[in-house]
A and B are shown apart, each in its own frame.
Chain A
């Protein structure tokens, strides 16, 4: 009887341990979310959101004070004009939280929530979009939640829920009149920014993991996993294929004047003049796949590759001139999926599978002295 009891206990204990190992979210489950404002970087990575002082690489705070098994962060944080840091949890609590960095708990040394929204049914992957005093927050449950940022409520409720279907993984875009939402269920939707009415709903043939981007010509540009860059009329939703690419388009294109910069999963880097319909440079495929969006900087365009030539090689930053010449390239520990962020004259990178959480480079590609940032060091 005693042996039987020991056996039963051991088996059940193993089951609990196994389910704990495989079921719980942990750092490295997917790539981190990164944003910066002034001299502070905000990194959503695993159980915590970190604020890092970019002058010295020191941690200013982390949220929550202690890891909560129901919360898990990797959506890109959004900083509101009044300084709140809004970030969604991909944990089982499905909460959207506004952290107030000015209100630090004296006991835990962590900031407290200005408000929370718990009305969503699934996890948060996308960053929300702030338009005036309204927040457009797309969730994986297929709903776009619209919140009023000016109602001073600590427990927010959606003023409107728009059922779009599919999984909404990308931050919405606006041109001031309309809000555009892309979905993994192959659709692009335009809403009136004031009335929230759906103006048009167009389907492509495959999933859209990136955001739409509004061009200087007022048109809307969307990349998809169908390996096509699509151009939409923002008023009618009429669309045509602007360009067929070598591989899947994951990241959101970047725009400068009449040029779209983007890259695909084969590692091809593009500079495409949408007005002329011509490529600005011949084929450039220096390295591995690209999921991150390019950054348009004063002297170059910054691309980040997931890996090197082989899967074992680390990801690399490439500074490419507007003429298509590689000015410098710098390998980074780990793989790069997260779109790098520029804060002043520092380029921030949050690679996956690296020892450090956040790496900082100068505009010449040299790592800054405090880099990398690792919590607790």
Chain B
């Protein structure tokens, strides 16, 4: 799948500076720019969110719908990044199952330095960008934080938030004085506060549970089977499939429920994206099936 012939490196670039390196550099520069202009970044998010809300007629429940549409928009914009992440993860997984790499791992099991050099060589030969799968994931973090901040800014729960909101309007066609206060009700939730449903006297955090479940399903579906017992990335993937649902579930429990709406929509879209590309590994959802699959391979 990934070899030097179908991943030609530009002859104009110095050795080791392939297109993967340039992509990594580009994403890193983009991340630095976002962090440097963080307030402007939040303002853009807030404006787009308010613009969608305005287009929807700013009635009851419409801010929740605006968050869902905004999430779809973000997913569309970051589609190439997600595709790259999936491609990078698949390439790394293919490497782990590669006989030559497994032989190298066995040969240099006690020489970590040599093993690292060989890993770099084989990755270069196969045209694999070692950051190809993790950098697009890193992009998601500023988006999640920006979305959280833009939701809280748009909902403006304190006088200072409201004043900041009035000053963060950069779209000239948005009349924020008419839009505020935003209607924070969506279905049974107040999007500006963490959600819970009263069941028999207990406050059941339904959204947090749904966030954890959908994150778990998405993580499991994207885990490819591995036959390599030394496969660190597979072990990491397994850990992430447990920690990410717990982490996002905790966020959903603590932060305004508007962020949970984003998590759930994003997870469902991710599942649909994997399924549409025929890469969803549905058998992974059954306990113990992943090991069996790997052994069969």
Contact = CB atoms under 8 A, between A and B. Distances in A.
A273 to B, nearest CB: 27
A267 to B, nearest CB: 13
A331 interface: no
Contact of B235 (A4, A248, A291): A4
Nearest to A227: B177
B243 A352 contact: no
Interface of B: 148, 157-163, 166, 177-178, 180-181, 235-236, 238-239, 242-244, 246-247, 250-251, 254-255
Nearest to B246: A12
B251 to A, nearest CB: 6
B183 to A, nearest CB: 9
Contact of B242 (A8, A23, A205): A8
Nearest to B145: A22
A7 B158 contact: no
Nearest to A142: B181
A19 B177 contact: no
B180 A225 contact: yes
Contacts of A123: 157
A19 B158 contact: no
B180 A207 contact: yes
A116 interface: no
B243 A8 contact: yes
B177 A207 contact: yes
A30 B254 contact: no
A50 interface: no
Contacts of A169: 159
Contacts of B148: 22
Shortest 7 CB-CB distances between A and B: which pairs? A30-B158, A30-B160, A19-B254, A206-B177, A225-B177, A15-B247, A11-B243
Contacts of A29: 158, 160
Given A8-B243, A225-B177, A248-B177, A23 B254 contact: yes
A59 B239 CA distance: 52
Contacts of B161: 30
Given A12-B243, A74-B158, A23 B177 contact: no
B53 to A, nearest CB: 15
A12 B177 CA distance: 41
Interface residues of A, number: 39
B250 A12 contact: yes
Contacts of B157: 123, 140
Nearest to B243: A11
Given A12-B243, A19-B255, A265-B166, A185 B181 contact: yes
B83 to A, nearest CB: 25
Q: Is the interface of B mostly helix, strand, loop or mixed?
A: helix
B166 A7 contact: no
Interface in A1-34: 4, 7-8, 11-12, 14-16, 18-19, 22-23, 29-31
B255 A23 contact: yes
B153 to A, nearest CB: 13
Contact of A19 (B166, B236, B244, B251): B251
Given A23-B255, A205-B178, 20 more contacts: A4-B235, A4-B238, A8-B239, A11-B246, A12-B243, A12-B247, A22-B148, A23-B254, A29-B160, A30-B158, A30-B161, A125-B159, A140-B157, A166-B181, A205-B177, A209-B162, A225-B177, A248-B166, A291-B159, A337-B160
Interface of A: 4, 7-8, 11-12, 14-16, 18-19, 22-23, 29-31, 74, 90, 123, 125, 140, 166-167, 169, 184-185, 205-207, 209, 224-227, 248, 250, 265, 291, 337, 352
A222 B94 CA distance: 69
A65 B133 CA distance: 51
Q: Is the interface of A mostly helix, strand, loop or mixed?
A: loop
A257 to B, nearest CB: 30
Nearest to A125: B159
B163 A15 contact: no
B251 A15 contact: yes
28 contacts: A4-B235, A7-B236, A8-B242, A8-B246, A14-B247, A15-B250, A18-B251, A19-B250, A19-B254, A23-B254, A23-B255, A29-B158, A29-B160, A31-B159, A31-B160, A90-B158, A166-B181, A169-B159, A185-B181, A205-B178, A206-B177, A206-B178, A206-B180, A225-B166, A225-B180, A265-B166, A337-B159, A352-B160
A123 B75 CA distance: 34
B180 A184 contact: yes
Nearest to A205: B178
A18 B149 CA distance: 13
Contact of B239 (A7, A140, A224): A7
Contacts of A166: 181
A16 B235 contact: no
B181 A207 contact: yes
A74 B159 CA distance: 10
Contacts of B158: 29-30, 74, 90, 125
Contact of A7 (B163, B178, B243): B243
A11 B249 CA distance: 13
A226 B238 CA distance: 55
A295 B162 CA distance: 24
Contacts of B239: 4, 7-8
Contact of A16 (B162, B178, B181, B250): B250
Contacts of A185: 181
B159 A30 contact: yes
A304 to B, nearest CB: 14
Contacts of A74: 158
Contacts of A337: 159-160, 163
A184 B163 CA distance: 13
A167 B243 contact: no
Contacts of A22: 148, 255
